[in-house]
């Protein structure tokens, strides 16, 4: 589920670029719809993404299980975010997330 509409996201990015003119602001290509907001850390803007949205988006696009998507995102995305100004990841707080049927984690996503 996208966190922002494309219009809201573009307005947000325009606002950030105006407010922090001349400063680097890193975003993750291909995961624009997972952007939640931005925050300032040490005077620099940082994009904040929803971890669960990243995983679900990857699983749907690659028709893999949720567990396979978690492994991919953890290994290839999270590990790459250790540089100055890197985007931040937050977990969605959802009480139902931990009470899901275990088979959910092994079902493959599809377009249906």
Comparing C-alpha atoms, which of 21, 53, 23 is closest to residue 37?
A: 53
C-alpha dihedral (32, 62, 100, 37), degrees to nearest 10: -10
Report the pLDDT value the prediction gives residue 109, as an integer from 0 to 100. 59
53, pLDDT greater than 80: yes
| Residue 67 to residue 81: CA distance in whole angstroms | 21
Contact 80, 57 (CB under 8 A): no
Whether residue 2 is predicted with pLDDT greater than 70 in this model: the reply is no
Each residue's pLDDT tens digit, 8-48: 777 877 877 777 777 767 888 888 788 887 788 887 788 88
pLDDT band at 99 (very low <50, low <70, confident <90, very high): very low
Give CA–CA dist 87/109, Å, rounded: 26
């Amino acid at each position: 589920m996208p966190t922002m509409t494309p219009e809201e996201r573009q307005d947000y990015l325009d606002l950030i670029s105006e407010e922090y003119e001349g400063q680097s602001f890193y975003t993750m290509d291909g995961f624009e719809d997972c952007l939640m907001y931005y925050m300032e850390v040490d005077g620099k803007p940082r994009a904040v993404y929803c971890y669960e949205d990243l995983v679900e988006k990857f699983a749907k696009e690659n028709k893999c299980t949720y567990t396979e998507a978690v492994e991919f995102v953890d290994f290839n995305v999270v590990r790459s975010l250790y540089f100055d100004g890197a985007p931040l990841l937050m977990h969605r707080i959802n009480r139902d997330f931990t009470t899901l049927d275990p088979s959910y984690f092994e079902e493959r996503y599809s377009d249906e």
